[in-house]
Amino acid sequence: MFSSIFKLFLEERIIIQSPRVNVWNTLNSLDSWAQWNSVCKTASWIYGDPWSQGSKFSMSLIFSGIVVPFTVTVEKSKKPYHLKWSSTFLGITGTREFTVEEIDKNTVQVTDSKSFKSNFLPIKLFYPQGIINKMSQEWLKSLKLQTELMNID
């Protein structure tokens, strides 16, 4: 069992005025992330079928002006309209999940959840929570802008 200083959970949400299919198609189109996402510099598949359990992709995210590369593994999700992946770096395992929930036929709520855990590093004492929250907020704002623009056509 992990002590509370060895794990961290962060979550951001946004309401988007767009049909769920538009939001979902934008979110799960990894190859287009760098085109619409203000915090994603690059994203591409490395291994496996897109979004299947065990497939891998790389991405470079911008944290406070610094580009940080990640290679992540897709995890299985039993939920519809749900993406989940994880990676381990320097003894910290991070898991990120996006869920797209329909409020009505033209409105959705997108939740971006992140959890971090370590067997030996006190994450809560030094992890840049504010920076990670800001990055998540910018990601969600970019998704909102992209998908709401699709409604204008």
Residue 143 vs residue 65, higher pLDDT: 143
Residue 62 has pLDDT above 70, yes or no: yes
Residue 20 vs residue 2, higher pLDDT: 20
Q: Are strands 92-104 and 107-118 parallel, antiparallel or unpaired?
A: antiparallel
Q: How confident is the model at residue 152 (pLDDT cuts 50, 70, 90)?
A: low
SS3 125: helix
Mean pLDDT in residue range 77-100: 91
Residue 149 vs residue 111, higher pLDDT: 111
Q: How confident is the model at residue 3 (pLDDT cuts 50, 70, 90)?
A: low
Give the N- to C-terminal CA distance of the chain in Å, as an integer. 51
Average pLDDT, the chain: 91
Q: How confident is the model at residue 131 (pLDDT cuts 50, 70, 90)?
A: confident
Please state, in angstroms and rounded to a whole number, the distance separating the CA atoms of residues 16 and 102: 10
Domains observed in the chain: 4-39+80-150 (3.30.530.20)
Q: What is the pLDDT of residue 86?
A: 97
The predicted-structure confidence for 38-58, as pLDDT tens digits, reads as follows 999 999 999 999 999 999 999
Q: What is the pLDDT of residue 29?
A: 95
